[in-house]
Structure 1
């Protein structure tokens, strides 16, 4: 597209300069507006204007800077801000925030000092009555390696046993009471154990409980119920059921059975009519 230059609101062309219309004029940045649709064409147009204009105070460098700013989307460089950002990133790498700082809590106001966020109201009772995972492990021999821990949420929601068996603990020694850190273990969720050990999430939640040793055997005892046979046939939606019954009645087929959708049947949509597809669904074809 051709670049268009404007001078005092009027389109400007190099021929105007050659004809002497702008001889001796001062093309200042305020009066000289450049509308760039195509940067190369604009540069060529402005260069020809500057070459043919005598006495103009607009230099080639000014026009180049205007075009560069236009090309950059008017984004001004901020070297000090970029340097400050790099310094903050370097400080964060040299002095990482520990879990004891990140999850510190004022038990009077229920506000975390570092983030300034207040815990939800429904969590206040658990914060006062329950404990975090490392508050429990800190009072157990070897930080609870080999012991079973569960959560109050699991006990309320599921009848099947849900627990972690601790296999590895990494304590945050910067914490005052050694009540922060990371733990790994084997998860058994709703009676289904996992083979691989992984990091235990949500250790900072106030809903962890330690399973006493004399109750571990009864706690993990679980007999899985027999699996129900997979569901294969389900009723059709009401409207689709009415369409199928109407098609059967039109064909003269007996209506002595309820149309059922076969979940294991994949109709061939590329072949046959709509009634044929219904028949494949219902198992009549």
Structure 2
């Protein structure tokens, strides 16, 4: 008699173990070892890995005294994977980050894999974060959409320019060009002539 398995629900893209399942079974909690996230290695061609520098285990969360109804896939109580603090040196898409990354909440996600010691020599970074930023210099100003640009011109703005603003709180491998500096990345508005001119026949463009 053959048994047929039928999976119900959305399939997960996570394949691997939690970080504590790996580090908790290694000498010195795996300090100095290399780990990868399978979701990154399958998505990017460039090497993505982390070298563990410091580990601090966290106690298991105490389940509530009263019973709460949870769906079968809810792991917020006693079945929730154990978390761990892990300070890591990160290489993302071949770029070595300048600042260290602290893994905490994501350590309970079953997405990590340990790299054997004899394969660690294959994991190298190609560029530093500073070198990558120098290759990705954004222009200081971008073009307005044609409709908004026309409105600004009719309201007295001679040369409307959209200033490029970067968020310093977000880790990025891009930076905005300084005054007088030539950007290496150029962006076009993408608003060209329509491919279906018949859709706009008889329309008065005088706004």
Q: Give TM-score scaled by structure 1 length.
A: 0.35
TM-score when scaled to structure 2?
A: 0.46
Task: Name the structure, 1 or 2, with higher relative contact order (CA <8 Å, separation 6+).
Answer: 2
Higher helix share: 1
- Give the structure with higher Rg (CA): 1
